[in-house]
């Protein structure tokens, strides 16, 4: 099937060649030192780090899953993505955890454990536990990206999703390991331009296609059955299609995810962009810029959802044929599971001669002459597969010649996210496991080689995990709610409780990870909200027990940590260490940071809602949201934004 023009393929080829060329050009500079490779040598400007952060969160798989909810629910899909896609943790990183991590002067979040707990058995144990947990998290995130990449590319390339993912991730692995974090930031700047072009193209096409809000509301109801598709209100109960019934209690999920983000955010910020920032002020500035840039993602995703409505209406005037087609396939493949459904569909489309003539004839009778086109959107449950809306829209609604631009933009977004995850995981292995425990005197050349080998192995393991899950929504829920819940408590306690020690962190972290993996293996159908509650409770119990079963952290280490980081929380025994004027300034800083949190959350949520409402011409909702946005931004500016850089002196 020929879906792209020669111009499209040429554009894609030039992009891949350019990407490898840039990485090779920056290889020498990135490999000059460990600081350069892992955090950019602490020389990169805040705006470049902010753009890189945006690109790293603008991933292809996330775009596909968020569009699926916007397609099903309209603007209300944003509330489901409080679980992670709306990246609400950014506000906590912006207000205080980013600068707290930078003040340590270390290179990785695992090395930070020595800074917090000391170079004792407990500190080293915590460092190893943090590195292992971070690598386990990286496997989950890379698997999530791989799953989406395969689904996306298999619509354009005549190969199964697994093969498509291998091709794409293979290229990404090569350029990431060559150029390190230093090269990744500059490549992200280049890729952000492509993303911006894609956003403009899709927005213009969609805005011109919508004649009015009433027409769009009627179309959405006909296609999805949602009477309130145009609404931005977080209703208590909403109808959901088969396979997504767990989200029908929308407000309950939104509140659970919001609380999860706030609590989880209390321990975030230990990533290369903050360790590599040049000052506390730049930590705050880069995150404010990063969050602001994330706004452009939401109207683009809403545009894909709207174009998806028009596309599905044209392809399936009567959607009952989808259930009949799925039933027909299952009569021939009764043992097929959700995990392998996409591979079977890809085989039916690209290699029909390899399958039963009766099956192929039946599908053609049900779906018509363009059966292959329609089959791409068929889900295991006999409905539209919303996770395929993005690639299908590019295929059917974007003119030939422009498709290559959009494909490259989404591939670039995936590469940016992938690169951030791999570099972080490689850093943990290189700095905290290999150099920290296996070979402390390793040369720079040896460390680079080890990082390449480890990075390649990490990707292989992620592939195996990625193709054991049913869909990308399934893996994202587990990663955010189960694994995230298991890691959340020890990550938080290290900042806010002086008695928490390396033993408590290590025990809490390892028990949390094992509990999440056990849930995945033995109770995979557990409700995501229950996953969060159970795993967080297990992590809390293990952390507290581990802390009191092991020796407290040496007081000199705690004093150094408190003087340099200056956190708030349960640090009563150490407050008198600071001079009165420093303590007063620190207290004022803490009050500003905490008081700004609700305004920052309101600002970010409305920042994402506004352009979506404007795009779908829901002007009344836009006006109400604009008022909330201005109040939130005004409060954020008055309480916090005008004071950034006034941090307490050590």
547, pLDDT greater than 90: yes
240 and 274 part of one domain: yes
Q: Are both 217 and 306 inside the same structural domain?
A: yes
Q: What is the mean pLDDT of residues 129-151?
A: 76
Q: Which residues contact 341 (CB under 8 A, 6 or more apart)?
A: 379, 380
Q: Are 420 and 333 in a shared domain?
A: no
**Whether the Cβ atoms of residue 387 and residue 154 lie closer than 8 Å to each other:** no
Tell me the C-alpha distance between 306 and 324, whole Å: 26
Give yes or no: residues 183 and 327 share one domain: no
End-of-domain residue from the set 333, 353, 383: 383
Q: Looking at the DSSP assignment, which residues form a beta bridge with residue 378?
A: 384
Average pLDDT rounded to a whole number, residues 124-145: 79
> DSSP code of 171?
H
Q: Is residue 390 part of a domain?
A: no
103 vs 106: CA distance, rounded Å: 8
Nearest-10 Cα torsion for 505, 506, 510, 513: 40
Report whether pLDDT(130) > 90. no
Model pLDDT, residue 32: 62
Q: Is 270 exposed, middle or buried (0-12, 13-18, 19+ CB in 10 A)?
A: buried
Task: Decide if 392 is inside a domain.
Answer: no
Segment among 18-32, 49-63, 322-336, 409-423 with least mean pLDDT: 18-32
- CA Rg, the chain, in Å? 25
> Phi then psi for 570, rounded to 5 degrees?
-85, 75
208 and 325, same structural domain?
no
**pLDDT exceeds cutoff 90 at 575:** no
Under 8 Å CB-to-CB from 289, ≥6 apart: which residues? 46, 47, 50, 51
Classify residue 648: in a domain, yes or no: no
Identify the three-state secondary structure at position 583.
helix
What pLDDT, on a 0 to 100 scale, did the predictor assign at position 649?
A: 46
Q: What is the pLDDT of residue 471?
A: 53
Residues 294 and 413 in one domain: yes
State the total domains in the chain.
2
**DSSP per position, 594-643:** HHTHHHHHHHHHHHHHHHHHHHTT-HHHHHHHHHHHHHHHHHHHHHTGGG
Structure tokens at 106: 């270390």
CA 202 to chain centre: 22
Q: What CA–CA distance (Å, rounded) separates 157 from 155?
A: 6
Average pLDDT over residues 409-433: 77
Mean pLDDT to the nearest integer, 469-481:
62
Whole-angstrom Cα distance, residue 176 to residue 429? 15
Residues, the chain: 650
- The backbone region for 384, taken as left when phi is positive above 0, alpha when psi lies in -120 to 50, beta otherwise, is beta
Give domain status of residue 165, yes or no: yes
Structure tokens belonging to residue 354? 């390899």
- Distances 248 to 61, 226, 240, 256, 565 between C-alpha atoms, Å: 23, 12, 6, 14, 43
pLDDT in tens, 23-72: 777 666 666 666 666 666 678 889 988 888 888 777 777 788 899 999 99
Q: Examine the domain organization and report whether 418 and 466 are in the same domain.
A: yes
At residue 633, the pLDDT reads 96
Between 377 and 606, name the one with better pLDDT. 606
Whole-angstrom Cα distance, residue 51 to residue 599? 23
| Residue 1, pLDDT score | 43
pLDDT > 50? residue 641: yes
**Within-domain flag for 544:** yes
Contacts of 454 (CB under 8 A, 6+ apart): 426, 429, 430, 434
Q: Which residue has the tokens 């959802």?
A: 305
Decide if 49 contacts 185 (C-beta within 8 A). Answer: yes
Domain CATH code at residue 480: 1.20.1730.10
Query: What's the Cα-to-Cα distance from 6 to each of 11, 12, 227, 241, 304, rounded to whole Å?
Result: 9, 10, 42, 38, 24
Q: What are 622's two structure tokens?
A: 């836009």
Question: What is the DSSP secondary-structure string of 440-460?
Answer: TT--HHHHHHHHHHHHHHHHH
**In a 3-state reduction of DSSP, which class is residue 281?**
helix
Q: How far apart are CA 577 and CA 564, in angstroms?
A: 11
79 contacts 234 by C-beta, under 8 angstroms: yes
> Structural domain of residue 535, as residue ranges?
6-312+401-643
Q: Where are the alpha helices (DSSP H) in 266-296?
A: 272-275, 280-294
Average pLDDT for 4-11: 71
Q: What is the mean pLDDT of residues 267-289?
A: 89
pLDDT value of residue 499: 93
Tally Cβ neighbours within 10 Å of residue 7: 14
Band (pLDDT 50/70/90 cuts) for residue 158 is: low
Residue 393 maps to a domain: no
In-domain check, residue 455: yes
**pLDDT reported for residue 607:** 96
Is the model's pLDDT at 648 over the cut of 60? no
Token reading at 598: 């609700």
* 262 vs 78, residue with greater confidence: 78
In degrees and rounded to multiples of 5, residue 327 shows phi and psi of -65, -40
Say yes or no to pLDDT of 622 above 70: yes
DSSP structural state of residue 40: G
Rounded-to-integer distance, Cα 235 and Cα 55, Å: 31
Give the pair of three-digit tokens for residue 433. Answer: 């496991």
**Predicted confidence band of residue 399 (pLDDT cuts 50, 70, 90):** confident
Give the model confidence (pLDDT) of 436-451 as tens digits.
Answer: 778 777 777 787 778 7
User: What is the residue-wise DSSP string for 402-423?
Assistant: THHHHHHHHHHHHHHHHHHHHH
What pLDDT is attached to residue 71? 92
Identify whether residues 261 and 337 lie together within a single domain. Answer: no
Q: pLDDT band for 298, please (50, 70, 90 cuts).
A: very high
Of the two residues 10 and 66, the one the predictor is more confident about is 66
Q: Residue 567 has what pLDDT?
A: 94
Q: What are the percentages of helix, strand and coil residues in the chain, rounded to 5? A: 75, 0, 20
Is residue 422 predicted with pLDDT exceeding 50? Answer: yes
Q: Is the domain of 45 the same as that of 137?
A: yes
Q: Which of 374, 233, 358 lies closest to 315, judged by CA?
A: 374
Asked whether residue 226 falls in the same domain as residue 343, the answer is no
Alpha-carbon gap, residue 513 to 500, rounded angstroms: 19
Q: List all residues 6 or more positions away from 334 whose beta carbon is below 8 Å from its beta carbon.
A: none
- What φ, ψ does residue 507 adopt, rounded to 5°? -65, -45
Q: Is 190 left (phi over 0), alpha (psi -120 to 50) or beta?
A: alpha
In DSSP terms, which residues pair with 570 in a beta bridge? 497
- Verify that 521 and 463 share a domain, yes or no: yes
**d(Cα 493, Cα 504) in Å, to the nearest integer?**
9
Residue with tokens 């270390």: 106
Give the residue among 461, 475, 449, 458 at the shortest CA–CA distance from 424: 458
**580 and 498 in one domain?**
yes
- Please report the beta strands in 528-571, taking only residues with DSSP state E, as ranges in sequence order: none
If we measure between CA atoms, which residue out of 495, 517, 565, 473 comes closest to residue 139? 517
The span from the CA of 68 to the CA of 63, in Å, is 9
Burial label for 457, CB within 10 Å (0-12, 13-18, 19+), is: exposed
Could you tell me if residue 396 is inside a domain? Answer: no
Q: What is the pLDDT of residue 41?
A: 67
Comparing 595 with 532, which gets the higher pLDDT? 595
CB 301 within 8 A of CB 58: no
pLDDT digits (tens, 9 = 90+) for 357-375: 889 998 888 888 888 888 8
- What value does the mean pLDDT take over residues 73-83? 89
The reported pLDDT for the residue numbered 117 is 93
Most confident of 30-39, 152-161, 403-412: 403-412
Q: Up-side HSE of residue 320: CA atoms within 13 Å toward CB?
A: 1
């Amino acid at each position: 099937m020929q879906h792209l023009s020669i111009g499209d393929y040429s554009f894609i080829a030039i992009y891949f060649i350019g990407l490898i060329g840039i990485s090779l050009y920056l290889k020498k500079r990135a490999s000059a030192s460990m600081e350069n490779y892992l955090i950019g040598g602490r020389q990169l400007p805040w705006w470049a780090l902010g753009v890189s952060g945006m690109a790293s969160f603008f991933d292809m798989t996330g775009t596909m899953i968020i569009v699926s909810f916007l397609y099903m629910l309209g603007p209300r899909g944003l509330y489901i993505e409080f679980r992670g896609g709306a990246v609400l943790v950014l506000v906590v990183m912006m207000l205080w955890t980013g600068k707290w991590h930078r003040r340590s002067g270390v290179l990785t979040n695992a090395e930070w454990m020595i800074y917090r707990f000391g170079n004792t058995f407990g500190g080293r144990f915590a460092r190893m536990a943090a590195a292992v947990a971070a690598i386990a998290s990286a496997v989950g995130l890379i698997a999530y990206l791989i799953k989406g990449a395969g689904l996306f590319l298999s619509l354009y390339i005549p190969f199964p999703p697994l093969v498509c993912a291998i091709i794409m991730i293979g290229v990404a692995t090569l350029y990431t390991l060559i150029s390190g974090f230093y090269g990744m930031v500059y490549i992200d700047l280049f890729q952000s331009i492509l993303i911006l072009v894609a956003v403009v193209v899709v927005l213009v096409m969609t805005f011109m296609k919508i004649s009015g809000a009433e027409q769009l509301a009627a179309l959405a109801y006909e296609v999805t059955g949602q009477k309130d598709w145009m609404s931005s209100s977080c209703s208590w109960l909403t109808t959901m299609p088969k396979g997504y019934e767990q989200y029908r209690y929308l407000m309950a999920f939104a509140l659970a995810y919001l609380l999860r983000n706030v609590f989880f955010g209390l321990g975030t910020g230990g990533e290369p962009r903050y360790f590599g920032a040049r000052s506390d002020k730049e930590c705050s500035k880069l995150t404010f810029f990063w969050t602001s840039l994330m706004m452009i993602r939401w109207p683009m995703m809403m545009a894909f959802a709207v174009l998806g409505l028009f596309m599905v209406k044209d392809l399936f005037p009567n959607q009952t044929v989808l259930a009949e087609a799925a039933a027909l396939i299952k009569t021939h493949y009764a043992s097929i599971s959700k995990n392998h459904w996409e591979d079977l569909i890809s085989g039916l489309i690209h290699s029909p001669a390899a399958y039963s003539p009766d099956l192929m004839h039946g599908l053609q009778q049900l779906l018509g002459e363009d059966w292959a086109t329609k089959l791409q959107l068929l889900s295991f449950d006999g409905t539209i597969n919303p996770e395929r809306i993005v690639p299908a829209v590019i295929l059917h609604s974007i003119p030939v010649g422009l498709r290559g631009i959009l494909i490259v933009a989404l591939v670039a977004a995936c590469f940016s996210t992938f690169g951030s995850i791999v570099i972080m995981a490689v850093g943990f292995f290189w700095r905290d496991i290999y150099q920290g425990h296996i070979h402390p005197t390793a040369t720079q050349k040896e460390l680079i080689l080890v990082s390449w080998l480890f990075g390649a192995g990490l990707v292989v393991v992620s592939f195996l995990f990625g193709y054991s899950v049913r869909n990308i929504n399934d893996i994202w829920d587990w990663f955010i709610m189960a694994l995230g819940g298991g890691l959340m408590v020890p990550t938080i306690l290290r900042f806010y409780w002086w008695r928490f020690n390396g033993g408590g962190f290590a025990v809490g972290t390892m028990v949390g990870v094992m509990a999440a993996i056990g849930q995945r293996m033995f109770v995979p159908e557990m409700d995501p909200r229950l996953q969060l509650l159970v795993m967080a409770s297990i992590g809390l119990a293990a952390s507290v027990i581990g802390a009191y079963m092991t020796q407290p952290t040496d007081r000199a280490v705690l004093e150094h940590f408190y003087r340099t980081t200056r956190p708030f929380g349960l640090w009563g025994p150490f407050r008198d260490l600071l001079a009165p004027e420093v303590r007063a300034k620190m207290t004022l800083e803490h009050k500003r940071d905490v008081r700004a949190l609700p305004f920052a959350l309101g600002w970010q949520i409305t920042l994402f809602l506004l352009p979506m409402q404007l795009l779908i011409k829901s002007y009344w909702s836009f006006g109400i949201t604009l008022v909330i946005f201005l109040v939130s931004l005004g409060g954020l500016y008055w309480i916090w934004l005008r004071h950034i850089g006034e941090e307490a002196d050590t």
